[in-house]
């Protein structure tokens, strides 16, 4: 019998993990805490309720909001965040730091009080932008790829591993997540908390409220669905920038292992993503979205690269695969098909948010 608290539990990752957990383990008690800051998260409340999941309207910036949790909690999954890589670039960094750093410390303190295990959703954005941009790449017809021979530690044709250097600027978002990682490590070492850090690449799938600065795969499909415009921004405007991506169900299968084998994973940090196997450039996404929707849309080319952009990111998942045999199973085509069906089935409700 487990009671699991998910912060950001009305968000894309949080709500899906909550529902998948409840479906697999009906006897578990799942508590989802969220302040509903993200537009569209409110739509998930009906889904949570329908699955018998308790929603707590709370703000992780406020440590008193955690006082509402009185039942003993066995595991905390910290999935509340301001997740945009552009957050704070307008000079207003308060919300970002108070949520992504202070909020995580509040969630750690709750875990400590309850002697609960702690699973932290971190990001590939902890790795510095300039160093990522120094990776030697090849330019192919539809995408950039990582070249076979590299000079930087922690990078190979298999992607970026946990040994990739951490020194250098990484975006304000990435900095708050790395700062939180340091606190998670301290709570593991100093208090013996079972903690695990997952540095995720792009996570996607149905129920992601994609927008221009976060949730690009859903945005790409939505724009095709409603026949709107898109742009290839940066790197010459050819849309060859590359990302790996992971379906939320593949992430769930990993979190499921981490909840139930906490000693095995405790104290570890992992790069988690779709690997080369589940990756696509924007150009390739366009082709697939066109095939699935039947709609061909106008895509502008804006050659100039923006601050915080990166040419490519592929997660090297050897560490987690060696420890657990976990690997992503759902292909790019299946991911896009799933997103398409979700939009199609909920067109009216989603149009004001995704269009």
Helix (H) or strand (E) holding 285: helix 282-293
Asked whether the CA dihedral 237, 176, 67, 189 is positive or negative, the reply is positive
Orientation angle between helical segments 172-191 and 104-114, nearest 10 degrees: 20
Q: Which is nearer to ligand NAD, 59 or 262 (CB)?
A: 59
Q: Which is nearer to ligand NAD, 116 or 119 (CB)?
A: 119
Q: How far apart are CA 286 and CA 101, in angstroms?
A: 36
Contact assessment for residue 65 and residue 58, using Cβ atoms and an 8 Å cutoff: yes
Helix (H) or strand (E) holding 203: strand 202-204
Nearest Cα residue to 161 out of 10, 271, 326: 271
Least distance from ligand NAD to the Cβ atom of residue 135, Å = 19
Q: Which is nearer to ligand NAD, 147 or 350 (CB)?
A: 350
Contact assessment for residue 301 and residue 235, using Cβ atoms and an 8 Å cutoff: no
Least distance from ligand NAD to the Cβ atom of residue 331, Å = 17
Q: Which is nearer to ligand NAD, 109 or 138 (CB)?
A: 109
Least distance from ligand NAD to the Cβ atom of residue 76, Å = 13
CA 297 and chain centroid, separation: 27
Least distance from ligand NAD to the Cβ atom of residue 303, Å = 25
Least distance from ligand NAD to the Cβ atom of residue 204, Å = 6
Residue least distant from ligand NAD (Cβ): 11
Cα first-last separation, the chain: 42
11-22 burial: b if 16+ Cβ within 10 Å, else e: bbbbbbbbbbbb
Token pair listed for 104: 């995580």
Q: Which is nearer to ligand NAD, 304 or 349 (CB)?
A: 349
Token pair listed for 171: 């975006």
Number of neighbours of residue 263 by Cβ within 10 angstroms: 8
Sites of contact with ligand NAD (CB under 6 A): 8, 10-14, 34-38, 41, 59-61, 79-83, 99, 103, 121, 123, 200, 202-203
Least distance from ligand NAD to the Cβ atom of residue 138, Å = 25
Nearest Cα residue to 202 out of 254, 274, 250: 274
Token pair listed for 272: 């988690």
Pairing of strands 144-146, 137-139: antiparallel
Q: Which is nearer to ligand NAD, 65 or 186 (CB)?
A: 65
**At 341, is the secondary structure helix, strand, or coil?**
helix
Least distance from ligand NAD to the Cβ atom of residue 141, Å = 26
Strands (E), 86-168: 117-123, 137-139, 144-146, 155-156, 159-160
Q: Which is nearer to ligand NAD, 237 or 268 (CB)?
A: 268
Least distance from ligand NAD to the Cβ atom of residue 227, Å = 25
Least distance from ligand NAD to the Cβ atom of residue 88, Å = 13
Q: Which is nearer to ligand NAD, 18 or 233 (CB)?
A: 18
Least distance from ligand NAD to the Cβ atom of residue 151, Å = 27
* C-alpha separations of 209 from 201, 202, 246, 267, 340 in Å: 17, 14, 16, 32, 13
Q: Which is nearer to ligand NAD, 60 or 317 (CB)?
A: 60
């Amino acid at each position: 019998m487990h009671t699991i608290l998910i912060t950001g539990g009305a968000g894309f990752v949080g709500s899906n993990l909550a529902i998948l957990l409840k479906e697999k383990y009906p006897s578990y008690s799942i508590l989802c805490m969220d302040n509903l800051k993200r537009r569209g998260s409110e739509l998930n409340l009906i889904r949570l309720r329908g699955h018998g999941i308790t929603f707590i309207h709370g703000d992780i910036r406020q440590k008193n909001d955690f006082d509402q949790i009185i039942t003993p909690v066995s595991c905390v999954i910290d999935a509340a965040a301001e997740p945009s890589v552009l957050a704070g670039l307008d000079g207003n960094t308060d919300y970002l730091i108070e949520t992504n750093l202070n909020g995580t410390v509040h969630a750690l303190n709750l875990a400590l009080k309850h002697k609960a295990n702690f699973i932290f959703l971190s990001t590939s954005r902890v790795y510095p932008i300039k160093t990522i941009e120094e990776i030697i790449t090849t330019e192919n017809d539809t995408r950039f790829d990582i070249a076979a021979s590299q000079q930087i530690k922690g990078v190979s044709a298999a992607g970026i591993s946990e040994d990739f250097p951490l020194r250098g600027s990484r975006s304000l978002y990435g900095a708050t997540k790395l700062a939180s990682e340091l606190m998670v490590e301290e709570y593991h070492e100093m208090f013996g908390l079972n903690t695990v850090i997952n540095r995720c690449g792009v996570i996607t799938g149905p129920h992601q409220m994609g927008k221009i600065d976060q949730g690009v795969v859903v945005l790409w499909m939505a724009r095709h669905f409603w026949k709107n415009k898109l742009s290839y921004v940066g790197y010459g405007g050819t849309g060859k920038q590359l990302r790996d991506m992971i379906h939320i169900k593949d992430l769930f299968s990993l979190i499921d292992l981490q909840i139930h084998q906490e000693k095995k994973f405790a104290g570890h940090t992992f790069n988690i993503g779709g690997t080369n196997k589940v990756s696509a450039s924007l150009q390739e996404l366009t082709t697939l979205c066109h095939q699935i929707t039947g709609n061909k849309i106008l895509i502008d080319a804006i050659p100039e690269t923006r601050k915080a952009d990166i040419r490519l990111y592929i997660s090297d998942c050897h560490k987690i695969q060696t420890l657990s045999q976990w690997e992503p199973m759902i292909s790019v085509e299946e991911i896009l098909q799933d997103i398409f069906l979700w939009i199609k089935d909920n067109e009216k409700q989603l149009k004001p948010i995704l269009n």
